[in-house]
Amino acid sequence: MSIQTIGVIGAGQMGNGIAHVMALAEYNVLLTDVSQAALDAAIEGIAGNLERQVSRGKVAEADMGAALGRINTTLALSDLGATDLVIEAATERESVKQAIFEDLQPHLQPQTILTSNTSSISITRLASRTDRPERFMGFHFMNPVPVMQLVELIRGIATDQPTYDACRAVVDKLGKTAASAEDFPGFIVNRILMPMINEAVYTLYEGVGNVRSIDQSMKLGANHPMGPLELADFIGLDTCLAIMNVLHDGLADTKYRPCPLLTKYVEAGWLGRKTQRGFYDYRGDEPVPTR
Ligand SMILES: CC(=O)CC(=O)SCCNC(=O)CCNC(=O)[C@H](O)C(C)(C)COP(=O)(O)OP(=O)(O)OC[C@H]1O[C@@H](n2cnc3c(N)ncnc32)[C@H](O)[C@@H]1OP(=O)(O)O
Ligand SMILES: NC(=O)C1=CN([C@@H]2O[C@H](COP(=O)(O)OP(=O)(O)OC[C@H]3O[C@@H](n4cnc5c(N)ncnc54)[C@H](OP(=O)(O)O)[C@@H]3O)[C@@H](O)[C@H]2O)C=CC1
């Protein structure tokens, strides 16, 4: 099946990045969210990121204008009815995602492929609540989407080969690399990455190091581009906690128990960069550790 128009649900940091790369690859994009403010912020963010790519010679100025022209926004989920592929990138909560698919389904063409950018939730379970489990799969981008090379492709138990092939062709057209992962909690990247981040929070909680020493240790001692606490703030602490809960519930092993300090930050609404405060405070000129 030929994909030309892509619907993106959720205009947060991932939805915004997905719309950006799809438009640059000449797909028409229809981006939706529950708030107009989120849609406006996403368009502004995409324009800013494209401008940076133009200034660094990564994108031609004319391509930037054309890409922005290919992105339309709407508050009405039903407008996504005419798209060929839908990528859901709303909040990492199963009930939110299920409600979106339920509301969207009656408006979709029968052949439309439904996908989720979920970081951890069972693709098979999400698919089973839709009218098209064979045309449903996991389409998992990494953050920041315009920079990261990998896309994890996750088949649910019922996903058919034409659906996988169509999604694979989109990844190829983006110039990114696909990795196939089986449908188990956290798939590949987050099964490995998130326990490391959670362990960094335990290291902080137990006083083994402070925020700065933990991040510095992993940057200078293990050559990670960002320290684990800086990365957690970048991903979003609510998303990190949601992923740990999926690993803990789905694999029933205490090694995945979320650190109580991570829970406390989320309860405080200190979700990282997106709320200006997490393991660092971003409200000043330089990020300042909060512990
Ligand atoms: C939670 C999940 O489900 C899965 C996940 O995504 S886990 C998270 C995975 N991501 C990571 O681990 C990211 C780790 N961090 C990094 O790789 C790097 O710190 C980083 C790429 C984010 C930034 O790199 P940096 O060297 O510190 O910063 P900076 O020089 O500003 O940026 C590097 C490049 O990225 C570009 N960039 C950064 N953010 C961007 C964005 N949002 N859009 C477009 N370009 C962006 C910059 O323009 C720059 O481009 P050039 O190389 O052409 O100059
Ligand atoms: N952050 C990361 O590094 C990565 C995240 N992901 C996954 O991508 C998804 C999105 O994450 P991310 O972009 O970081 O999250 P954000 O919190 O940045 O964005 C989520 C967006 O979805 C919106 N939203 C919530 N409910 C609905 C709804 N019913 N319909 C439409 N939009 C809705 C939110 O609006 P509001 O704020 O008003 O609630 C918000 O704008 C999650 O599943 C996450 O696990 C995948 C890879 C990496």
Residue nearest to atom 27 of ligand 1 (CA): 225
Provide the pLDDT for residue 244.
98
Over residues 29-61, the pLDDT tens digits come to 999 999 999 999 999 999 999 999 999 999 999
Given 20, 116, 140, 230, the catalytic residue: 140
How many other C-beta atoms lie within 10 A of the C-beta of residue 193?
A: 18
Same domain? 89 vs 12? yes
- Report, as ranges of residue numbers, the positions in the chain whose pLDDT lies below 50: none
Provide the pLDDT for residue 120.
97
Alpha helices in the chain (DSSP H): 13-24, 36-55, 61-69, 94-104, 123-128, 161-174, 189-205, 211-222, 228-235, 237-251, 260-267
Number of domains in the chain: 2
**5, 82 Cβ separation under 8 angstroms:** yes
Please give the ipTM for the structure prediction: 0.95
How many Cα atoms within 13 Å fall on the side-chain side of residue 112?
24
Q: Please give the annotated binding residues, written as ranges.
A: 10-15, 33, 92, 97, 119, 143, 274
CATH number at 86 reads: 3.40.50.720
How many other C-beta atoms lie within 10 A of the C-beta of residue 185?
A: 19
Domain membership flag for residue 188: no
Question: Which of 130, 152, 182 represents a domain boundary (last residue)?
Answer: 182
Same domain? 114 vs 203? no
**Gyration radius (Cα) of the chain, Å:** 19
Domain membership flag for residue 22: yes
Ligand 1 center from residue 149 Cα (angstroms): 10
pTM: predicted TM-score of the whole model, two decimal places: 0.97
Three-state SS across 181-199?
Answer: ECCCCCCCHHHHHHHHHHH
* Torsional sign, CA 59, 62, 65, 66: negative
Over residues 240-290, the pLDDT tens digits come to 999 999 999 999 999 999 999 999 999 999 999 999 999 999 999 999 999
Domain enclosing residue 232, as ranges: 194-289
Cα end-to-end span (Å), the chain? 52
Provide the pLDDT for residue 44.
98
Provide the pLDDT for residue 1.
74
